[in-house]
Structure formats: structure tokens, C-alpha cells
Amino acid sequence: MKILVVKRDKIGDLLLTTPMLEHLKANAPDAEVHLLANDYNSWVVAGNRNLDRLWTYRRVRHAGRISLAAAWDQARQHFELRRQCYDAAIVANGEESPRAIRRALHAGARRVVAYCGARRYRGLTDPLPAPEGVHECDRLLALLAPLGIAAPVRAPLPEYRLPLEQETFARTWLRERGLSPRGYVVLGLGARRKKKQPAPDQVLRWSARFKRTLGLDTVFMWTPGESTSALYPGDDDVAQPVLEAAAPHIHPFRGPLLPAIGLIWDARGSIFPDSGLMHFAAASAGGVLGLFGGGGLAVRTSIISRLQKAWPNCPTSWCFRASTLCYAERFAPYRYGLKAGSLYILNCR
């Protein structure tokens, strides 16, 4: 069997597709599994052990511009994909994605599996209703049912293989600052919505508490740039008060995405707003606490945590009450939603 998985979303969404790839390969070891992604996110699964081939297409629209060369490349790639004669194509989105469905249909597979609502697509052989109230990984795993593969009792964890270059960068950067692997926490600001971000005073209080109670320094990360940028808004203005405080236990990192992931990989644990980096931190050994704006304690569909492995002396979940709420889920033995009042370790009010 030859299967094409189509994934056109952002980096965190592609990372959450890796449990489905692992389960697919485990239950169909003789299947040839290909994945189609764009030039923004395909690096997430480069070298993934459950893929036989990775196809990458250039985005036609990028940074407000249209590339005719990219459009030509895509047309040529569509022809190459049709020549593969796929038995099935899976649109790996947790909800209906018209563009991804059309891209899968263009590949000419005998069967096409995707979530969709009332809208109908010619050639979509296996339309499925999107399940509600379940984790994104579970939604993607359920897409394998039309191929005769049942969802696992315990879902695999998302998988990312840190390139040697980023591992080397992280070790050098840490050594220059007198830090050691697992001897620090990463605290990040990266989020498009301000209500999900910790305020500067919270960053200072939380990092001081980590130092005082756990003996851990803090690597402080944020997205470079001005918040007023239309294309790529940054967090320089939010980070500035933290930098001005010049706390010796806070080590600022204002850099590119891949080196940031290298630092996350060696952390004792991480705290991030809902973002792509939050998902990568979830796949790291230290785990993550994710910050979401708004009220309520409903289980969110985009966070995984290995918190207890990182901090074994803490209870099942930690809760930070402040202008944002922190949600934690973990896989041990399965997913648990955060319960209010489990532990307030920080005085955030």
C-alpha cells in the first residue's frame, strides 16, 4: 500500500501529526508512507523514521507576495505526485481544510480521507465528521479508521529529532553562560495574542521563585521585532522591562526558531503561551506548561506535557493563576485535564 499524508498547517500542527505517522507505520509496516508539506513546516519531520519520502512544496503566497515560480513548481509537483499512484491520501487536519483537501485530491489517490462538514468535494471517497472534545492527536489518529487501523489505547507521543547543529549550539550557548543541561527553565513570550502572554512582572516573579525554590535559572525567550509589525509581530516591547531588571538568574535569548528549540531540548521544563514553541517544548524531555487566555478549565486540544518526569516531586498538575490560566496535560498513563486548585506554586496575583 502506498499512502500520502497531506499537512499544510504550521509547525506545531505538523509536530502533532507524528503520533499518527508512528501508529500508521506500526500497523502497516509494509506500507510506503509519503508526506506532503510546505517549505515553512516540512523541516519538522525531516529524517522522521516513519516516513519513506518527504515532499515539500513552495508557498505561492508568502510575506504578501506572489511567486509565479512557486506556482509553476507546484503544478509540476502535482504531476509527479499523480505518477506515484497512491492507494490512499489522508488530509491530516483535525477539522475541515478545503485547501488541504484539494491538494490531496490533486494527487489522484484511489481513496482520499478527510474531515469535512456539509460541503462536498468531488473525489473525496471517505469524508468524516470531525470529532469534538478530543485531543488533536486523537483526531488525527481517527483518520486511520477508514484504512482499517483502530486508534491505540495509548497514543504515541509527538516526536522531533533535534539536529546535531542545534544541539551543539545549545551546549555552547549554555556553557558560555555557566549553565548546564537540565539546570534551567525556559520561559517564553511567543504568542500573537497578548492575553496569553505572561506580563513582565510575572516573568520576574516566576523566575525568582524557580531560582529560590528549585535552584533553577531561567532562559527567557521572546519573538524578535516590534509588536506593530503587520507580517511578523514581535515581543521586544514586552521583553524590555525584564531586560532592564537585569536579574542575574535570567538569561535572555532573542534568536531564531531552531536555536531556540535546541535550548528548549536541554531545559528542565518550559513555560510557553499557546504557540508552535509550546508544542516543541511538549515533545522535549522536560515537558511544558502552556498558557492560554480566558477563563474556564476545559481540556485544550493542543498541549501535551511530561511535567512529572521533569519535576517528579510536584503533584499531577501545576496551576498558575494570573491574567492568564495555565493548563497542563500529560501522558501517564493517558491524558488528564488540569483540575483547579491542584497546586498554586507561584504568587501571581
Is the four-CA dihedral 291, 294, 296, 301 of positive or negative sign? negative
Residue 333 in domain: no
- Regarding whether 125 and 267 lie in a shared domain, the answer is no
Beta pairing class for 288-292 and 325-327:
antiparallel
- CATH number, residue 28: 3.40.50.2000
Residue 260 in domain: yes
Residue 49 in domain: yes
pLDDT at 250: 97
- Regarding whether 61 and 32 lie in a shared domain, the answer is yes
- Regarding whether 125 and 60 lie in a shared domain, the answer is yes
All 3 cell numbers of residue 259? Answer: 536555536
Query: Could you give the C-alpha distances from 30 to 50, 130, 147, 327, in angstroms and in order?
Result: 11, 28, 14, 39
pLDDT at 64: 66
Beta pairing class for 65-66 and 61-62:
antiparallel
- Regarding whether 218 and 87 lie in a shared domain, the answer is no
Closest by CA position to 119, among listed 99, 88, 98: 98
Classify 12 as helix, strand or coil. Answer: helix
35, 54 Cβ separation under 8 angstroms: yes
Closest by CA position to 187, among listed 146, 123, 137, 238: 238
- Regarding whether 273 and 225 lie in a shared domain, the answer is yes
- Regarding whether 235 and 121 lie in a shared domain, the answer is no
Query: Could you give the C-alpha distances from 201 to 209, 343, 347, 348, in angstroms and in order?
Result: 12, 21, 11, 9
pLDDT at 93: 93
pLDDT at 191: 57
pLDDT at 71: 85
Query: Could you give the C-alpha distances from 315 to 76, 268, 286, 311, 328, in angstroms and in order?
Result: 54, 16, 15, 9, 11
pLDDT at 232: 66
Q: pLDDT digit string (tens) for 174-229?
A: 999 999 999 999 999 875 666 677 888 889 988 998 898 889 999 999 988 776 66
All 3 cell numbers of residue 31? Answer: 506500507
Classify 65 as helix, strand or coil. Answer: strand
Residue 53 in domain: yes
- Regarding whether 169 and 134 lie in a shared domain, the answer is no
Residue 156 in domain: no
Residue 347 in domain: no
Closest by CA position to 124, among listed 93, 151, 91: 91
Q: What is the rounded CA–CA span in Å between residue 275 and residue 277? A: 5
Residue 19 in domain: yes
- Which residue range forms the structural domain that includes residue 289? 164-327
- Regarding whether 289 and 236 lie in a shared domain, the answer is yes
Output DSSP code: residue 193. S
- Regarding whether 120 and 21 lie in a shared domain, the answer is yes
pLDDT at 225: 78
Residues in the chain predicted with pLDDT less than 50, given as ranges, are: 294-349
- Regarding whether 297 and 178 lie in a shared domain, the answer is yes
Closest by CA position to 249, among listed 226, 220, 284: 220
All 3 cell numbers of residue 320? Answer: 498558575
Residue 342 in domain: no
- Regarding whether 9 and 135 lie in a shared domain, the answer is yes
- Is the pTM of the predicted complex or chain greater than 0.75? yes
- Regarding whether 274 and 203 lie in a shared domain, the answer is yes
pLDDT at 309: 41
- Cβ atoms within 10 Å of 267's Cβ, excluding its own: 28
Residues 6+ apart with CB under 8 A from 38: 8, 56, 57, 58, 59
Distance linking the first and last C-alpha atoms of the chain: 56
The total number of structural domains in the chain stands at 2
**Alpha-carbon Rg for the chain in angstroms:** 21
